[in-house]
Amino acid sequence: MDPIVSAASVLAAALAIGLAAIGPGIGQGNASGQAVAGIARQPEAEGKIRGTLLLTLAFMESLTIYGLVIALVLLFANPFA
């Protein structure tokens, strides 16, 4: 592999996963905070809130996973190598 290409790929992989973690991090924080507030207000709804929260967290997490998939493609299946 061309050294420039491999260096660029490694950097791009790091940026992909790092940047992709920012947004979902903020989102997950917001969602969890709201869920805790909801449980504090209405403790009897805890089960339902927790179920919904876990599902929404999984959706947000998948955004980071898209970044991870790009990073993995760059590292292991680089089309420009």
Partner 1 sequence: MATLMMPNLLNFSNILPLAELEVGHHFYWHLGGLSLHGQVFLTSWFVIGILLIASVLAGRDRTMIPAGLQNFMEYVLEFIRDLAKNQLGEKEYRPWVPFIGTLFLFIFVSNWSGALLPWKVIQLPEGELAAPTGDINTTVALALLTSLAYFYAGFRKRGLGYFAKYIEPTPILLPIAILEDFTKPLSLSFRLFGNILADELVVAVLVLLVPLFVPVPVMMLGLFTSAIQALVFATLAGAYIHEALEGHGEEDH
Q: How far is the CB of 53 from partner 1 (least distance, A)?
A: 11
How many other CB atoms are found less than 10 A from the CB of residue 58? 10
Q: What distances in angstroms separate CA 1 from CA 9, 26, 70, one per listed residue? A: 11, 37, 18
Measured from the CB atom, the residue of 12 and 65 that comes closer to partner 1 is: 65
Q: Which residues bind partner 1 (CB under 8 A)?
A: 54-55, 58-59, 61-62, 65-66, 68-69, 72, 75-78, 81
Q: Which is nearer to partner 1, 4 or 76 (CB)?
A: 76
Q: Which is nearer to partner 1, 40 or 77 (CB)?
A: 77
Per DSSP, helices labelled H in the chain are 3-41, 46-76
